[in-house]
Amino acid sequence: MRFRAVGVAGVALSIALFGAACGDDGESAEDDPLADDATGQETDAFDGEAVPDACTLITSEELSEYLESDQGTGQSMSVSPDRSICVFPTGTITAVEIAENYDASRRAIEQQGFTTEDVSGVGNSAFFENAGGGIAQLVAQGDDVFVAATYMFDGDTSAAIATGTEITTVMLETAESDVVDG
């Protein structure tokens, strides 16, 4: 099964989805699902120096193999010490963020009207999101971080979940190892 590259609109949507899930959409503190109720500040409980660079969590060759198309070299977009995003020329996006923000990120995605589906077999918890237009996202939580992969799929949800599970398993193992070794 071949997965199509994410177009420019897919990249914009994916960044918007992940940014919104991260509380970067200009909402007030009381509307921000990541904000601590008492302070209005994001709840950043990660006690490491920074999450790993999302571009280092899976090689371009591995990602290309899983998605059955050349992904090219990813460009790092470190958003903060608690969040890193890697954008590939095809529009595929990989991301890593502190584990504490996993539930709030899922809620933010669902509040935007997207449906999520629990996925087993990767991390402590994981979900799949079909964002429409052939755009899929699989998000998996580990002990210290959670990872996400956003990619195009051809409508076969089962195959898209299997591919996302393979990608995020590699990413999560690498990220958790980097945090421990870091």
Domain assignment present for residue 39? The answer is: no
Domain assignment present for residue 35? The answer is: no
Domain assignment present for residue 137? The answer is: yes
Q: Average of pLDDT values for 5-9?
A: 36
pLDDT in tens, 96-152: 999 999 999 999 999 999 999 999 999 999 999 998 899 999 999 999 999 999 999
User: Under 8 Å CB-to-CB from 106, ≥6 apart: which residues?
Assistant: 21, 116, 127, 139
Instruction: Look at the chain and report how many structural domains it folds into.
Output: 1
Domain assignment present for residue 41? The answer is: no
How many CB atoms neighbour CB 154 within 10 A? 12
| Per-residue burial over 60-95, b = 16 or more CB atoms within 10 Å of its CB, e = otherwise | beebbebbebebeebeebebeebbbbbbbebbbbbb
Q: Average of pLDDT values for 71-94?
A: 93
Identify the H or E element spanning 14: helix 8-21
Mean residue pLDDT of the chain comes to 79
β-strand 116-118 against 93-98: which pairing, if any?
A: unpaired
Domain assignment present for residue 22? The answer is: yes
Domain assignment present for residue 66? The answer is: yes
Both tokens assigned to 102: 């996993």
Domain assignment present for residue 153? The answer is: yes
Domain region containing 57: 8-27+51-181
Q: What pLDDT does residue 99 have?
A: 93
Domain assignment present for residue 38? The answer is: no
pLDDT in tens, 51-67: 999 999 999 999 999 99
Q: Which CATH number goes with the domain that contains 130?
A: 3.40.1000
